Structure 1
Protein backbone atom coordinates (compact mmCIF):
# COMPACT_ATOMS: atom_id res chain seq x y z
CA UNK A 1 0.00 0.00 0.00
CA UNK A 2 1.09 3.54 -0.67
CA UNK A 3 -0.14 6.37 1.54
CA UNK A 4 -1.69 9.03 -0.70
CA UNK A 5 -3.87 10.97 1.73
CA UNK A 6 -4.24 11.79 5.42
CA UNK A 7 -7.24 9.50 5.90
CA UNK A 8 -5.15 6.50 4.83
CA UNK A 9 -2.41 7.34 7.30
CA UNK A 10 -4.99 7.71 10.06
CA UNK A 11 -6.52 4.37 9.14
CA UNK A 12 -3.14 2.65 9.24
CA UNK A 13 -2.29 4.32 12.55
CA UNK A 14 -5.52 3.04 14.08
CA UNK A 15 -4.88 -0.51 12.85
CA UNK A 16 -1.29 -0.27 14.09
CA UNK A 17 -2.43 0.85 17.53
CA UNK A 18 -4.90 -2.04 17.78
CA UNK A 19 -2.31 -4.74 17.09
CA UNK A 20 0.45 -3.06 19.09
CA UNK A 21 -1.74 -2.68 22.17
CA UNK A 22 -2.99 -6.25 21.84
CA UNK A 23 0.53 -7.63 21.54
CA UNK A 24 1.77 -5.62 24.51
CA UNK A 25 -1.11 -6.76 26.71
CA UNK A 26 -0.71 -10.39 25.69
CA UNK A 27 2.98 -10.28 26.60
CA UNK A 28 2.11 -8.89 30.04
CA UNK A 29 -0.73 -11.39 30.51
CA UNK A 30 1.30 -14.51 29.68
CA UNK A 31 2.41 -16.54 32.67
CA UNK A 32 3.62 -20.06 33.50
CA UNK A 33 0.77 -22.54 33.80
CA UNK A 34 -1.37 -20.76 31.21
CA UNK A 35 -2.33 -22.46 27.96
CA UNK A 36 -1.56 -20.75 24.68
CA UNK A 37 -5.29 -21.00 23.89
CA UNK A 38 -6.14 -18.97 27.00
CA UNK A 39 -3.56 -16.39 25.98
CA UNK A 40 -4.96 -16.29 22.46
CA UNK A 41 -8.53 -15.87 23.71
CA UNK A 42 -7.38 -12.91 25.80
CA UNK A 43 -5.83 -11.27 22.74
CA UNK A 44 -8.96 -11.94 20.69
CA UNK A 45 -11.08 -10.08 23.22
CA UNK A 46 -8.78 -7.05 23.07
CA UNK A 47 -8.87 -6.93 19.28
CA UNK A 48 -12.64 -7.25 19.37
CA UNK A 49 -12.84 -4.26 21.72
CA UNK A 50 -11.08 -2.24 19.02
CA UNK A 51 -13.49 -3.54 16.42
CA UNK A 52 -10.57 -5.30 14.71
CA UNK A 53 -10.59 -8.75 13.13
CA UNK A 54 -7.70 -11.27 13.32
CA UNK A 55 -5.86 -11.24 10.01
CA UNK A 56 -4.67 -14.89 9.95
CA UNK A 57 -8.24 -16.13 10.29
CA UNK A 58 -9.56 -13.74 7.66
CA UNK A 59 -6.82 -14.38 5.15
CA UNK A 60 -5.85 -18.01 5.59
CA UNK A 61 -8.40 -19.63 7.89
CA UNK A 62 -5.79 -19.95 10.64
CA UNK A 63 -7.18 -21.81 13.68
CA UNK A 64 -6.57 -19.01 16.18
CA UNK A 65 -6.44 -15.27 16.63
CA UNK A 66 -2.67 -14.80 16.92
CA UNK A 67 0.24 -17.06 16.04
CA UNK A 68 1.81 -18.19 19.33
CA UNK A 69 5.03 -20.17 18.98
CA UNK A 70 6.96 -21.72 21.87
CA UNK A 71 10.59 -22.81 22.12
CA UNK A 72 11.56 -24.90 19.06
CA UNK A 73 8.53 -23.62 17.12
CA UNK A 74 9.81 -20.81 14.91
CA UNK A 75 6.51 -19.24 13.87
CA UNK A 76 2.84 -19.84 12.98
CA UNK A 77 2.28 -21.84 16.17
CA UNK A 78 -1.36 -22.82 16.70
CA UNK A 79 -2.88 -21.79 20.06
CA UNK A 80 -3.86 -24.90 22.01
CA UNK A 81 -5.47 -25.71 25.34
CA UNK A 82 -2.94 -28.52 25.68
CA UNK A 83 0.12 -26.31 25.21
CA UNK A 84 0.98 -25.04 28.68
CA UNK A 85 3.53 -22.27 29.09
CA UNK A 86 6.45 -22.86 31.46
CA UNK A 87 8.98 -20.70 33.25
CA UNK A 88 11.83 -19.79 30.91
CA UNK A 89 9.98 -20.61 27.69
CA UNK A 90 10.95 -18.70 24.55
CA UNK A 91 7.60 -17.36 23.35
CA UNK A 92 6.75 -15.57 20.12
CA UNK A 93 3.44 -13.79 19.61
CA UNK A 94 2.56 -12.46 16.17
CA UNK A 95 -0.56 -10.28 16.09
CA UNK A 96 -2.03 -9.02 12.83
CA UNK A 97 -5.47 -7.59 12.24
CA UNK A 98 -7.82 -5.69 9.95
CA UNK A 99 -9.58 -2.56 11.18
CA UNK A 100 -11.92 -0.58 8.92
CA UNK A 101 -10.20 -1.88 5.80
CA UNK A 102 -6.64 -1.32 7.00
CA UNK A 103 -4.24 -4.08 8.05
CA UNK A 104 -1.26 -4.05 10.44
CA UNK A 105 1.19 -6.66 11.72
CA UNK A 106 3.28 -6.72 14.92
CA UNK A 107 5.31 -9.47 16.54
CA UNK A 108 7.75 -10.06 19.37
CA UNK A 109 9.69 -12.85 21.03
CA UNK A 110 10.31 -12.83 24.77
CA UNK A 111 11.42 -15.05 27.63
CA UNK A 112 8.62 -16.00 29.99
CA UNK A 113 9.70 -15.28 33.55
CA UNK A 114 13.28 -16.13 34.49
CA UNK A 115 15.75 -16.79 31.70
CA UNK A 116 16.70 -20.26 32.97
CA UNK A 117 17.54 -21.51 29.46
CA UNK A 118 19.61 -18.47 28.38
CA UNK A 119 17.34 -17.38 25.52
CA UNK A 120 17.65 -13.67 26.29
CA UNK A 121 20.75 -13.06 24.13
CA UNK A 122 18.84 -14.37 21.10
CA UNK A 123 15.85 -12.15 21.92
CA UNK A 124 18.06 -9.10 22.33
CA UNK A 125 19.86 -9.84 19.06
CA UNK A 126 16.54 -9.98 17.22
CA UNK A 127 15.46 -6.66 18.69
CA UNK A 128 18.81 -5.11 17.78
CA UNK A 129 18.62 -6.36 14.19
CA UNK A 130 15.17 -4.85 13.72
CA UNK A 131 16.21 -1.57 15.31
CA UNK A 132 19.27 -1.38 13.06
CA UNK A 133 17.18 -2.06 9.96
CA UNK A 134 14.59 0.57 10.83
CA UNK A 135 17.29 3.17 11.34
CA UNK A 136 18.45 2.69 7.74
CA UNK A 137 15.23 2.14 5.78
CA UNK A 138 14.04 5.07 3.69
CA UNK A 139 12.82 5.73 0.19
CA UNK A 140 15.38 4.76 -2.46
CA UNK A 141 17.37 2.35 -0.29
CA UNK A 142 17.91 -1.07 -1.85
CA UNK A 143 15.90 -3.83 -0.19
CA UNK A 144 18.85 -6.21 -0.55
CA UNK A 145 21.14 -3.78 1.30
CA UNK A 146 18.84 -3.82 4.33
CA UNK A 147 18.84 -7.61 4.18
CA UNK A 148 22.64 -7.53 4.19
CA UNK A 149 22.64 -5.20 7.19
CA UNK A 150 20.28 -7.51 9.08
CA UNK A 151 22.37 -10.61 8.44
CA UNK A 152 25.62 -8.83 9.24
CA UNK A 153 24.23 -7.56 12.54
CA UNK A 154 22.96 -11.03 13.45
CA UNK A 155 26.29 -12.67 12.66
CA UNK A 156 28.21 -10.15 14.75
CA UNK A 157 26.08 -11.25 17.67
CA UNK A 158 26.73 -14.94 16.98
CA UNK A 159 23.46 -15.87 15.29
CA UNK A 160 22.09 -16.91 11.89
CA UNK A 161 19.17 -15.67 9.82
CA UNK A 162 16.38 -17.81 8.41
CA UNK A 163 16.55 -17.36 4.66
CA UNK A 164 13.12 -18.55 3.54
CA UNK A 165 11.12 -16.18 5.74
CA UNK A 166 10.81 -12.43 5.35
CA UNK A 167 8.81 -9.26 5.77
CA UNK A 168 6.23 -7.99 3.31
CA UNK A 169 4.12 -5.15 2.06
CA UNK A 170 0.86 -4.55 3.93
CA UNK A 171 -1.99 -2.06 4.11
CA UNK A 172 -5.17 -3.07 2.32
CA UNK A 173 -4.39 -6.73 2.83
CA UNK A 174 -2.15 -8.80 5.10
CA UNK A 175 0.43 -9.59 2.43
CA UNK A 176 1.06 -7.19 -0.44
CA UNK A 177 3.96 -6.17 -2.63
CA UNK A 178 6.82 -5.94 -2.02
CA UNK A 179 7.04 -9.57 -0.86
CA UNK A 180 10.19 -11.30 0.42
CA UNK A 181 11.84 -8.54 2.45
CA UNK A 182 14.56 -10.97 3.44
CA UNK A 183 17.04 -10.97 6.31
CA UNK A 184 20.01 -11.43 3.99
CA UNK A 185 21.33 -9.92 0.77
CA UNK A 186 19.76 -11.35 -2.34
CA UNK A 187 22.20 -10.02 -4.94
CA UNK A 188 19.66 -10.67 -7.70
CA UNK A 189 17.10 -8.33 -6.12
CA UNK A 190 17.27 -4.82 -7.65
CA UNK A 191 14.21 -3.46 -5.82
CA UNK A 192 14.29 -0.35 -3.66
CA UNK A 193 12.03 0.82 -0.86
CA UNK A 194 9.48 3.36 -2.05
CA UNK A 195 8.63 6.51 -0.15
CA UNK A 196 5.11 6.51 1.36
CA UNK A 197 4.74 2.73 1.00
CA UNK A 198 3.71 0.57 3.96
CA UNK A 199 5.69 -2.55 4.84
CA UNK A 200 6.06 -5.00 7.70
CA UNK A 201 9.72 -5.46 8.56
CA UNK A 202 10.48 -8.57 10.59
CA UNK A 203 13.50 -10.43 11.86
CA UNK A 204 14.08 -14.18 11.80
CA UNK A 205 17.18 -14.72 13.95
CA UNK A 206 18.16 -18.28 14.78
CA UNK A 207 20.70 -20.32 16.73
CA UNK A 208 21.38 -23.25 14.40
CA UNK A 209 18.98 -23.22 11.42
CA UNK A 210 18.93 -21.20 8.21
CA UNK A 211 15.63 -22.53 6.82
CA UNK A 212 12.19 -23.17 8.27
CA UNK A 213 10.18 -26.30 7.53
CA UNK A 214 6.48 -26.99 8.09
CA UNK A 215 5.16 -29.55 10.54
CA UNK A 216 2.37 -32.00 9.77
CA UNK A 217 -0.23 -29.64 11.26
CA UNK A 218 0.09 -27.55 8.11
CA UNK A 219 0.96 -24.35 9.95
CA UNK A 220 3.80 -24.52 12.48
CA UNK A 221 7.33 -23.89 11.21
CA UNK A 222 10.48 -25.22 12.86
CA UNK A 223 14.17 -25.06 11.98
CA UNK A 224 15.71 -27.39 9.42
CA UNK A 225 18.52 -28.00 11.90
CA UNK A 226 16.53 -27.49 15.08
CA UNK A 227 17.43 -24.84 17.61
CA UNK A 228 15.56 -21.67 18.45
CA UNK A 229 14.46 -18.52 16.65
CA UNK A 230 13.44 -15.02 17.75
CA UNK A 231 11.28 -12.67 15.72
CA UNK A 232 10.39 -9.00 16.07
CA UNK A 233 8.19 -7.10 13.65
CA UNK A 234 6.89 -3.59 13.07
CA UNK A 235 4.58 -2.15 10.44
CA UNK A 236 6.05 1.08 9.09
CA UNK A 237 5.48 3.84 6.59
CA UNK A 238 8.61 4.54 4.57
CA UNK A 239 9.58 8.21 4.32
CA UNK A 240 12.50 10.18 2.98
CA UNK A 241 14.09 9.88 6.41
CA UNK A 242 13.13 8.07 9.62
CA UNK A 243 10.18 5.73 9.01
CA UNK A 244 6.87 6.11 10.82
CA UNK A 245 6.52 3.07 13.08
CA UNK A 246 2.79 2.40 13.13
CA UNK A 247 3.01 -0.42 15.66
CA UNK A 248 5.22 1.28 18.23
CA UNK A 249 3.33 2.38 21.32
CA UNK A 250 3.44 6.18 21.57
CA UNK A 251 5.43 6.24 18.33
CA UNK A 252 8.54 4.91 20.06
CA UNK A 253 10.39 1.72 19.08
CA UNK A 254 9.56 -1.10 21.49
Structure 2
Protein backbone atom coordinates (compact mmCIF):
# COMPACT_ATOMS: atom_id res chain seq x y z
CA UNK A 1 0.00 0.00 0.00
CA UNK A 2 1.36 3.41 -1.01
CA UNK A 3 1.43 6.05 1.72
CA UNK A 4 1.66 9.81 1.53
CA UNK A 5 4.89 11.13 3.05
CA UNK A 6 2.92 12.99 5.71
CA UNK A 7 0.58 10.12 6.59
CA UNK A 8 1.07 8.22 9.81
CA UNK A 9 3.51 5.35 9.33
CA UNK A 10 2.13 1.86 8.75
CA UNK A 11 4.15 0.47 11.67
CA UNK A 12 1.92 2.06 14.31
CA UNK A 13 4.61 4.33 15.75
CA UNK A 14 2.40 7.40 15.36
CA UNK A 15 5.16 9.19 13.44
CA UNK A 16 4.80 10.58 9.94
CA UNK A 17 5.80 8.10 7.26
CA UNK A 18 8.66 10.32 6.03
CA UNK A 19 10.15 10.39 9.54
CA UNK A 20 9.74 6.67 10.13
CA UNK A 21 9.78 3.91 7.48
CA UNK A 22 9.88 5.77 4.15
CA UNK A 23 13.63 5.34 3.56
CA UNK A 24 13.38 1.79 4.93
CA UNK A 25 10.61 0.88 2.47
CA UNK A 26 12.46 2.43 -0.46
CA UNK A 27 15.56 0.38 0.36
CA UNK A 28 13.51 -2.81 0.64
CA UNK A 29 11.77 -2.10 -2.65
CA UNK A 30 15.09 -1.75 -4.42
CA UNK A 31 16.36 -5.00 -2.93
CA UNK A 32 13.16 -6.78 -3.97
CA UNK A 33 13.55 -5.48 -7.53
CA UNK A 34 17.06 -6.91 -7.52
CA UNK A 35 15.60 -10.33 -6.73
CA UNK A 36 16.20 -10.56 -3.00
CA UNK A 37 13.65 -12.04 -0.58
CA UNK A 38 12.47 -9.30 1.77
CA UNK A 39 10.36 -9.42 4.93
CA UNK A 40 6.73 -8.38 4.94
CA UNK A 41 5.52 -5.53 7.14
CA UNK A 42 3.95 -7.87 9.70
CA UNK A 43 7.45 -9.13 10.55
CA UNK A 44 8.52 -5.67 11.75
CA UNK A 45 7.97 -4.73 15.41
CA UNK A 46 7.56 -1.09 16.45
CA UNK A 47 9.02 0.47 19.61
CA UNK A 48 5.83 0.03 21.65
CA UNK A 49 5.57 -3.66 20.75
CA UNK A 50 9.25 -4.23 21.49
CA UNK A 51 8.93 -2.76 24.99
CA UNK A 52 5.86 -4.91 25.70
CA UNK A 53 7.64 -8.04 24.47
CA UNK A 54 10.64 -7.24 26.67
CA UNK A 55 8.38 -7.33 29.73
CA UNK A 56 7.27 -10.83 28.75
CA UNK A 57 10.91 -11.80 28.17
CA UNK A 58 11.95 -10.58 31.62
CA UNK A 59 9.50 -13.06 33.16
CA UNK A 60 10.67 -15.79 30.80
CA UNK A 61 14.31 -15.26 31.80
CA UNK A 62 13.37 -15.26 35.47
CA UNK A 63 11.60 -18.60 35.03
CA UNK A 64 14.73 -20.12 33.51
CA UNK A 65 16.83 -18.64 36.31
CA UNK A 66 14.49 -20.30 38.81
CA UNK A 67 14.85 -23.65 37.05
CA UNK A 68 18.64 -23.25 37.07
CA UNK A 69 18.58 -22.66 40.83
CA UNK A 70 16.46 -25.74 41.55
CA UNK A 71 17.14 -28.42 38.95
CA UNK A 72 18.91 -31.47 40.37
CA UNK A 73 19.30 -35.24 40.31
CA UNK A 74 16.22 -37.02 41.64
CA UNK A 75 13.84 -34.28 40.55
CA UNK A 76 10.92 -35.21 38.30
CA UNK A 77 10.20 -33.23 35.16
CA UNK A 78 6.70 -32.72 36.60
CA UNK A 79 8.34 -30.74 39.40
CA UNK A 80 10.03 -28.54 36.81
CA UNK A 81 6.66 -28.00 35.16
CA UNK A 82 5.12 -26.97 38.49
CA UNK A 83 7.96 -24.50 39.14
CA UNK A 84 7.40 -22.93 35.74
CA UNK A 85 3.62 -22.80 36.06
CA UNK A 86 3.53 -21.41 39.60
CA UNK A 87 6.10 -18.69 38.99
CA UNK A 88 4.65 -17.62 35.64
CA UNK A 89 1.11 -17.35 37.05
CA UNK A 90 2.40 -15.47 40.10
CA UNK A 91 3.68 -12.74 37.74
CA UNK A 92 0.34 -12.36 36.01
CA UNK A 93 1.58 -14.21 32.93
CA UNK A 94 0.62 -17.46 31.20
CA UNK A 95 2.86 -20.37 30.11
CA UNK A 96 2.55 -20.27 26.32
CA UNK A 97 2.90 -24.04 25.76
CA UNK A 98 0.00 -24.94 28.08
CA UNK A 99 -2.83 -26.25 25.85
CA UNK A 100 -1.09 -24.90 22.73
CA UNK A 101 -2.39 -27.17 19.96
CA UNK A 102 -3.13 -29.72 22.69
CA UNK A 103 0.25 -29.68 24.45
CA UNK A 104 -0.62 -30.72 28.03
CA UNK A 105 2.07 -28.97 30.09
CA UNK A 106 3.60 -25.55 30.78
CA UNK A 107 7.15 -26.28 29.62
CA UNK A 108 9.07 -28.66 27.35
CA UNK A 109 11.64 -30.90 29.06
CA UNK A 110 13.74 -32.91 26.59
CA UNK A 111 16.28 -35.37 27.99
CA UNK A 112 19.29 -37.04 26.34
CA UNK A 113 18.14 -38.41 22.95
CA UNK A 114 14.98 -36.27 22.97
CA UNK A 115 15.45 -33.44 20.49
CA UNK A 116 12.54 -31.22 21.56
CA UNK A 117 8.97 -31.09 22.89
CA UNK A 118 9.52 -33.51 25.75
CA UNK A 119 6.44 -33.65 27.99
CA UNK A 120 6.98 -33.35 31.76
CA UNK A 121 5.87 -36.30 33.87
CA UNK A 122 5.99 -37.40 37.52
CA UNK A 123 7.44 -40.68 36.22
CA UNK A 124 10.47 -39.08 34.54
CA UNK A 125 13.20 -38.62 37.16
CA UNK A 126 16.47 -36.82 36.41
CA UNK A 127 19.45 -39.12 36.81
CA UNK A 128 23.16 -38.58 37.20
CA UNK A 129 24.65 -38.13 33.73
CA UNK A 130 21.49 -36.78 32.07
CA UNK A 131 21.44 -33.69 29.89
CA UNK A 132 18.15 -31.84 29.65
CA UNK A 133 16.78 -28.95 27.66
CA UNK A 134 14.19 -26.80 29.43
CA UNK A 135 12.24 -24.71 26.91
CA UNK A 136 10.18 -21.88 28.43
CA UNK A 137 7.71 -19.64 26.62
CA UNK A 138 5.64 -16.89 28.24
CA UNK A 139 2.61 -14.76 27.40
CA UNK A 140 2.37 -11.46 29.28
CA UNK A 141 -0.33 -8.94 28.41
CA UNK A 142 -0.77 -10.77 25.12
CA UNK A 143 2.92 -10.66 24.12
CA UNK A 144 5.12 -13.73 23.67
CA UNK A 145 8.69 -14.61 24.61
CA UNK A 146 10.65 -17.84 24.14
CA UNK A 147 14.04 -19.24 25.22
CA UNK A 148 15.65 -22.48 26.38
CA UNK A 149 18.75 -23.66 28.21
CA UNK A 150 20.60 -26.92 28.66
CA UNK A 151 21.40 -28.39 32.07
CA UNK A 152 23.88 -31.16 32.90
CA UNK A 153 22.87 -33.37 35.81
CA UNK A 154 25.74 -34.60 37.98
CA UNK A 155 28.69 -36.22 36.20
CA UNK A 156 27.99 -36.34 32.48
CA UNK A 157 30.03 -38.11 29.83
CA UNK A 158 32.75 -36.29 27.90
CA UNK A 159 30.64 -36.63 24.75
CA UNK A 160 27.60 -35.08 26.46
CA UNK A 161 29.66 -32.22 27.89
CA UNK A 162 31.20 -31.47 24.51
CA UNK A 163 27.80 -31.61 22.79
CA UNK A 164 26.24 -29.18 25.27
CA UNK A 165 29.20 -26.79 24.89
CA UNK A 166 29.31 -26.97 21.10
CA UNK A 167 25.55 -26.47 20.79
CA UNK A 168 25.87 -23.33 22.91
CA UNK A 169 28.70 -22.14 20.68
CA UNK A 170 26.46 -22.84 17.66
CA UNK A 171 23.83 -20.52 19.13
CA UNK A 172 26.46 -17.86 19.79
CA UNK A 173 27.85 -18.11 16.26
CA UNK A 174 24.34 -17.93 14.85
CA UNK A 175 23.71 -14.74 16.82
CA UNK A 176 27.05 -13.27 15.72
CA UNK A 177 26.00 -13.86 12.10
CA UNK A 178 22.91 -11.64 12.43
CA UNK A 179 23.52 -8.25 10.83
CA UNK A 180 20.98 -5.59 9.84
CA UNK A 181 20.58 -5.86 6.05
CA UNK A 182 22.38 -9.20 6.12
CA UNK A 183 20.89 -12.58 5.18
CA UNK A 184 18.93 -15.27 6.99
CA UNK A 185 21.20 -17.87 5.40
CA UNK A 186 24.20 -16.41 7.23
CA UNK A 187 22.76 -17.75 10.51
CA UNK A 188 22.32 -21.29 9.25
CA UNK A 189 25.73 -21.39 7.60
CA UNK A 190 27.50 -20.29 10.79
CA UNK A 191 25.68 -22.90 12.90
CA UNK A 192 26.07 -25.76 10.46
CA UNK A 193 29.77 -25.12 9.89
CA UNK A 194 30.58 -25.09 13.61
CA UNK A 195 28.50 -28.18 14.38
CA UNK A 196 29.92 -30.25 11.55
CA UNK A 197 33.50 -29.11 12.25
CA UNK A 198 33.02 -30.69 15.68
CA UNK A 199 31.66 -33.95 14.33
CA UNK A 200 28.00 -33.23 15.11
CA UNK A 201 24.89 -32.75 12.95
CA UNK A 202 22.18 -30.10 12.75
CA UNK A 203 18.51 -31.08 13.02
CA UNK A 204 16.70 -29.99 9.87
CA UNK A 205 13.08 -30.74 10.78
CA UNK A 206 12.81 -27.85 13.25
CA UNK A 207 14.12 -24.29 13.32
CA UNK A 208 13.74 -20.89 14.86
CA UNK A 209 10.80 -18.60 14.18
CA UNK A 210 9.46 -15.11 14.42
CA UNK A 211 7.89 -14.40 17.80
CA UNK A 212 6.38 -11.61 19.89
CA UNK A 213 2.87 -10.87 18.68
CA UNK A 214 2.18 -14.59 18.21
CA UNK A 215 3.90 -17.72 19.52
CA UNK A 216 5.17 -18.69 16.07
CA UNK A 217 5.49 -16.12 13.29
CA UNK A 218 7.42 -15.82 10.07
CA UNK A 219 10.22 -16.11 9.19
CA UNK A 220 11.27 -19.70 9.68
CA UNK A 221 14.91 -19.62 10.81
CA UNK A 222 16.96 -22.44 9.32
CA UNK A 223 19.95 -23.69 11.31
CA UNK A 224 21.70 -24.84 8.17
CA UNK A 225 22.16 -23.03 4.90
CA UNK A 226 24.32 -20.93 2.62
CA UNK A 227 25.85 -17.57 3.47
CA UNK A 228 24.46 -14.69 1.43
CA UNK A 229 21.16 -16.44 0.71
CA UNK A 230 17.66 -16.27 2.15
CA UNK A 231 15.56 -13.40 3.43
CA UNK A 232 17.10 -9.99 4.12
CA UNK A 233 17.29 -9.26 7.87
CA UNK A 234 16.11 -5.77 8.73
CA UNK A 235 15.72 -3.64 11.88
CA UNK A 236 12.55 -4.50 13.77
CA UNK A 237 12.60 -8.20 12.98
CA UNK A 238 12.40 -10.44 16.04
CA UNK A 239 12.96 -14.20 16.00
CA UNK A 240 14.42 -17.14 17.88
CA UNK A 241 17.67 -18.89 17.08
CA UNK A 242 17.50 -22.37 18.62
CA UNK A 243 19.86 -24.88 17.01
CA UNK A 244 19.25 -28.54 17.86
CA UNK A 245 22.55 -30.35 17.55
CA UNK A 246 22.83 -34.14 17.52
CA UNK A 247 25.87 -36.21 18.48
CA UNK A 248 24.98 -38.63 15.68
CA UNK A 249 22.81 -38.29 12.60
CA UNK A 250 20.36 -35.39 12.22
CA UNK A 251 17.35 -37.62 11.51
CA UNK A 252 14.57 -37.96 14.06
CA UNK A 253 11.11 -39.37 14.66
CA UNK A 254 8.15 -38.21 16.74
CA UNK A 255 7.02 -40.41 19.63
CA UNK A 256 3.82 -42.21 18.58
CA UNK A 257 2.62 -42.34 22.19
CA UNK A 258 2.27 -38.56 22.59
CA UNK A 259 2.60 -37.11 19.05
CA UNK A 260 4.91 -34.42 20.43
CA UNK A 261 8.34 -35.56 21.56
CA UNK A 262 10.98 -35.65 18.82
CA UNK A 263 13.73 -38.25 19.34
CA UNK A 264 16.97 -38.90 17.46
CA UNK A 265 16.48 -41.80 15.08
CA UNK A 266 19.84 -43.36 15.96
CA UNK A 267 19.44 -42.87 19.71
CA UNK A 268 22.30 -40.37 19.92
CA UNK A 269 22.30 -37.43 22.32
CA UNK A 270 20.78 -34.08 21.32
CA UNK A 271 21.33 -30.60 22.73
CA UNK A 272 19.64 -27.24 22.16
CA UNK A 273 20.00 -23.65 23.34
CA UNK A 274 17.54 -20.93 22.35
CA UNK A 275 17.71 -17.14 22.47
CA UNK A 276 15.24 -14.55 21.17
CA UNK A 277 16.84 -11.85 19.00
CA UNK A 278 15.85 -8.37 17.88
CA UNK A 279 17.54 -6.91 14.79
CA UNK A 280 18.39 -3.25 15.46
CA UNK A 281 19.67 -0.39 13.31
CA UNK A 282 23.28 -1.12 14.23
CA UNK A 283 23.32 -4.76 15.33
CA UNK A 284 21.20 -7.03 17.51
CA UNK A 285 19.72 -7.21 20.99
CA UNK A 286 19.15 -10.46 22.84
CA UNK A 287 15.60 -10.20 24.17
CA UNK A 288 15.29 -13.55 25.98
CA UNK A 289 17.98 -16.07 26.89
Task: Please state whether the residue corresponding to 1:119 is helix, strand or coil.
Answer: helix
Structure with the greater relative contact order (CA < 8 A, sep ≥ 6): 1 or 2?
A: 1
Alignment equivalent of 2:233, drawn from 188, 193, 211:
193
Displacement of 1:117:
6.1
In structure 2, the residue matched to 1:56 is 97
Deviation at 1:101, TM superposition (A): 1.3
Matched residues in 1 for 2:161 and 2:226: separation? Answer: 29
What is residue 12 of structure 1 aligned with on the other side?
53
* Counterpart-to-counterpart distance in 2, 1:190 and 1:143: 5
How far the C-alpha of 1:131 sits from its partner, in A, is 0.7
| Cα distance in 1, alignment partners of residues 108 and 90 from structure 2 | 19
Contact kept? 2:210, 2:216, Cα under 8 Å: yes
Which range is displaced more, 181-190 or 200-209? 181-190
> Quick one: which of 244, 250, 256 aligns to 1:210?
250
Question: Is the contact made by 1:138 and 1:240 (CA closer than 8 Å) also made in structure 2?
Answer: no
TM-score (normalised: structure 2): 0.81
**CA RMSD, Structure 1 to Structure 2 (Å):** 1.7
Question: What residue is the counterpart of 1:46 in the other structure?
Answer: 87
* Distance (whole Å) between structure 1 residues aligned to residue 227 and residue 281 of structure 2: 24
Residue matched to 1:224: 265
Task: Render the CA deviation track for 1:12-34: whole Å, top value 9, x for unaligned.
Answer: 11111111110121122111111
Structure 2 gap ranges (5+):
1-42
Match among 275, 279, 282 for residue 241 of structure 1: 282
1:141 paired residue among 178, 182, 186:
182
Decide whether aligned partners of structure 1 residues 229 and 241 sit closer, same or farther in structure 2, where only a CA change above 3 A counts. farther
Q: Output the CA distance in 2 between the equivalents of 1:28 and 1:118.
A: 24
TM-score, length basis structure 1: 0.91
Structure 1 residues 58 and 243: CA distance shift in structure 2, 3 A: farther
Q: Secondary structure of the equivalent of 2:275?
A: strand
Paired residues, what number? 246
Q: How many angstroms does 1:99 deviate by?
A: 0.6
Q: Does 1:178 align with 2:223?
A: no
**Gap runs ≥5 in structure 1:** 249-254
User: Are 1:2 and 2:62 matched, yes or no?
Assistant: no
Q: Which residue of 1 aligns with 2:120?
A: 79
Structure 1 residue 11, shift from structure 2 partner: 0.8
Distance 2:157 2:267 in 1: 19
- The 3 A distance-change label for structure 1 pair 64 and 117 is farther
